Amino acid sequence: MTTPVSCHNPGMVPGNACLHSASAPYPLSEFMPVLLLRALPCRPFTPSRSVRLIAPTVLASAFGLVSAIQPALAQSAASTSTSTSTSTSTSTSTSTSTSTSTASENPQTPSSPKTENIDVVGHKARGEALGHLKPIMQIKADEIRAYGVDSASDLLTAISPETRSGRGAGGSGPVILLNGKRVSGMQELQDLPFESIDHVEIFTEEEALKYGYSATQRVVNIITVEHFRAFRTRLSGTTSTDGGGETGAPSISYTKLDGERRINLSARYSDQAELKDSQRGVVPARASGLYANAGNVIAANGGSLDPTLDMLAGTPVTVAGAPLLASSQIPTLQDFLPYANLPHSNGDASAYTLQPSVQKLTLNGVIAGQIFKTVTSSLNLTYTRQDQHSLQGPARGILTLPASNPFSPFSEDSLLYRNFTETSPLRQKVHTETAHAGLKFDGDVGNWKWNSTGSYDRSEITTSSQTGLNLQTIQTDLTDGSAALNPFSAFPASMLSQRTLNTGHTTSNNGQISGLMSGNVFALPAGDVATSLSLTGALTDQNAVSSVKAVRSYSHIRRDVGTFQFNADIPIANRNKHVLSFLGKLDGNVNAAVNQVSQFGTLGTIGGGVTWAPLSWVQFPFSITNSQEAPTASQLVAPTIQTPNVTTYDYVTGQSVQVTSLSGGNPNLKATSRHEISLGTLITLPYITGARLHVNYVHDTTHNTILSLPTATAAIESAFPDRFQRNTDGILESVDIRPVNADSESRSEWNATLSFSQPLQGSGTDRHGKSKKAHGRIYLVATQVWRLQDTVTLRSGLPAINLLRGGTISGLGGQPRHEMELQGGIYDKGIGVRLVGKWQAGTSTLASSPSDSLYFSALGTLDATVFADLGELPHWEDRKWAKNFRLFLSVDNVFNERIHVHNGKGSTPAGYQPAFMDPLGRTITFSIRKTV
């Protein structure tokens, strides 16, 4: 899209302007000013300023032509009227035209009236985003190099604090653009090498509206260089300084960029080793208080085990630890006396994994090009395969020991709770395969831009979770009084080979087609009214099959979603156009969306706001949004999966226990509704080159918010009593973490981003007058989040849970009130250093009793990366093998800091040991990267 600019001063014409006359020919003496104007170097112009064509007069006089052209210039100056329209976008190319008219048929008559009009047409810079909003942050190519990243996906990870949005439900990543255009998916650009990126822009959530997205995500625009070609290989390895948890990750890619043509082919593989509890000295929590390696015995009727044992112990004995005997040894009451009312509580730490083993392969291909004069297209295909294996604790079970069994010393039937450590631990396997196909088209229709994307995603997830042993054969032998089976000795492995399985299989097919039209509809005195219209159709088909305790269940959902979204940016005031100049620049925004969701009907979104820039270096965006959102298909119909031996803290009883966790979907979920207010400030600091400050305040209230509740507190269990199952002793045994609707959630926060970047040495001349080039880069980025309010009301009429003051809806404490991150780096002459410091405030979770409350410490960590581009090192520039050869060495969590948790008694419950909260701790990664 171009913006015509009417101008009357050659000094106001942008650089490389081209001028031509559309009028009848002039004598050389009268046309000389125009010829000189063509030849003059040009500078950026100042809008809305009167112009008198002084410069051509002075230059023409040097050629002795003043007397010949003075009458024409006088007439031109008298009849000139200035009207200037400017575009806020950066111009990279301009075209100008000069049209001259006379009142006389003889163009050579000196007294002929003449009017000079110069139209300057500015084109948007390549890859520039829609609209006129200023980016929160700009990252140039040399700064990207200073980040020490490998690819576009690594860069997005590095800048994730800056792209975090405080709006919406949270957790959503930013909208990603490539060269100012929408893409069919993140896969389309994730493997671009960092060398192919010219610069990156980060925008506020208001920019997302212009691309057909909701204003709950920030926008990242990645602009590539025009020409690039490289074959890249990388090999990296990671290990922890505490030992274990190693990861190896080789990758290769080929990238070619040539204007609109783009090819990117890549293959990535990673292999992550498991990390067991025993490798970190983590003690597992007790399961229901009775399971142990040797076993514990209680009376089947819940009373005393045996009157004789009561007499020997001098007190009623309701539970006793079991002795470990030889297979032929007959136990006596004396063998149980040392453990009377003293049950075993030991477990097997080697039967649990803090970190699962994961193998992942990703193949990705992108091809793009220009298929018509004004139409470009891209095709993306991606395949991912992942296998995950974890240990879920020892196989365990409950056996009934009749009083008549030869190995029972008790007068009544008893129950034996035992871990069967003589067989391998329970395992959980998750196999995932996903395929993605994306197609995109872009083009222009007059002054309108259009974009169309289509995508198809298919995923298959198979979960197999061992939940226990099939003990039917063993129980039969015990009931029959077999003399060959001693329940207090090691069991034959052949009798423990059959395991009970919980399986789940989900097949999901998702298709989406989306179209976007954007352009100016009409002009107002303050500028053009720009609109964006988007229409999206999505189809989801998901099938889930699960088997729990040999009972199979099926669920299916087919969802059709049609979305129409409208966005309009309306200029209200513009100092450059002399429209309400005292306001500076003021633009309004209105947006609305209608979603037709199967099974939920029509859901709507309506919003609006203003962006006020009283000065050129400051903006104040303000927005209000009311929206409705349906649950995702997975939240509704995901298969039911049982996972045994999950450690959780029971705030009701004040102890850590191992429970069976039940996950999956909830078909009874309702749509959520959200009201949100956002107010921000974006400042380009005028006295500090390369510095920007963005501050944003967000407040939102959500009704029917969707939550998962893995923790048993008195408030949560009171609101959802059917989600928690306890045994007769009140010990928690099962937790249902499938999503539910809470009544409401209210939260407010303010977040800020301060960025600073500039070359180590700027361009110019030294003291000897020799020119010097800019080189090196130093940057600093500080982000912070300050939560002012975060409360959840689980049921109407119940008191709100304050997540900032002792409340929790998760197993990891409350919500930190304050979080900060500071990034800094320097790069020069082939050597780069990057430091990342993070800090979050401590939290607490108040239980029914102060002694059972949990207190979580604050956490501060430091990550450091050192890298070297061997071909850029002094005296290494001529070594061909060193060109584009980079070595990385990074240390995450340099000081090996972890969150520390203690209860009101000062002790740390099981499941909250520092290594349980952060299994790896300090890690070291070494990478080799070569690009040719």
Residue with tokens 């340099």: 894
pLDDT beyond 80 at 722: yes
Q: Burial code of 21-32, b = ≥16 C-beta within 10 A, e = fewer?
A: bebeebeebbbb
Q: Under a CB-based contact definition with an 8 Å cutoff, are residues 249 and 273 in contact?
A: no
Q: Under a CB-based contact definition with an 8 Å cutoff, are residues 662 and 549 in contact?
A: no
CA-closest candidate to residue 601, choices 512, 536, 671, 660:
671
User: Which residues, 6 or more positions from 113, have their beta carbon under 8 angstroms from its beta carbon?
Assistant: 75, 79, 102, 103, 104
Find the largest Cα–Cα distance for the chain.
Answer: 135
Of the listed ranges 106-120, 254-268, 464-478, 511-525, the least confidently predicted one is 106-120
Q: Under a CB-based contact definition with an 8 Å cutoff, are residues 234 and 250 in contact?
A: yes
Token pair, residue 806, equals 């002792």
pLDDT class for 279, splitting at 50, 70, 90?
very high
Report the C-alpha gap between 147 and 755 in whole angstroms.
14
**Share above pLDDT 70 across residues of the chain, in percent, rounded to a whole number:** 86
Q: Does residue 102 or residue 860 have the better pLDDT?
A: 860
pLDDT class for 704, splitting at 50, 70, 90?
very high
Element (H, E) at 35: helix 28-39
pLDDT in tens, 357-386: 999 999 999 999 999 989 999 999 999 999
- How far is Cα of residue 900 from the mean position of the Cα atoms in its chain? 26
Residue with tokens 């110019």: 764
pLDDT class for 92, splitting at 50, 70, 90?
very low
Q: Under a CB-based contact definition with an 8 Å cutoff, are residues 670 and 704 in contact?
A: yes
Q: Under a CB-based contact definition with an 8 Å cutoff, are residues 415 and 401 in contact?
A: yes
Q: For residue 718, how many C-alpha atoms fall within 13 Å in the half-sphere facing its CB? A: 15
Element (H, E) at 265: strand 261-272
* Mean pLDDT, residues 383-396 taken together: 95
Report the C-alpha gap between 656 and 597 in whole angstroms.
42
pLDDT beyond 50 at 855: yes
pLDDT beyond 60 at 583: yes
CA-closest candidate to residue 752, choices 788, 778, 781:
781
User: Which residues, 6 or more positions from 43, have their beta carbon under 8 angstroms from its beta carbon?
Assistant: 11, 12, 14, 15
Token pair, residue 368, equals 């793009």
User: Which residues, 6 or more positions from 913, have their beta carbon under 8 angstroms from its beta carbon?
Assistant: 280, 281, 282, 283
Residue 788 has what pLDDT?
Answer: 97
pLDDT beyond 60 at 691: yes
- Looking at the chain, the number of H-run helices and the number of E-run strands are 13, 48
pLDDT in tens, 182-193: 999 999 999 999
What's the whole-model pTM score? 0.81
Token pair, residue 224, equals 């590539």
Residues comprising the chain, all counted: 932
Other beta carbons within 10 angstroms of residue 151's beta carbon come to 25
pLDDT class for 171, splitting at 50, 70, 90?
low
In angstroms, the Cα distances linking 22 to 9, 25, 34, 84, 118 are 18, 9, 12, 20, 11
693 forms bridges with which residues in the sheet? 683, 754
Q: Under a CB-based contact definition with an 8 Å cutoff, are residues 634 and 659 in contact?
A: no
User: Which residues, 6 or more positions from 908, have their beta carbon under 8 angstroms from its beta carbon?
Assistant: 900, 901, 902
Residue 688 has what pLDDT?
Answer: 86
Token pair, residue 606, equals 């309506």
Report the C-alpha gap between 661 and 736 in whole angstroms.
6
CA-closest candidate to residue 507, choices 549, 552, 557:
557
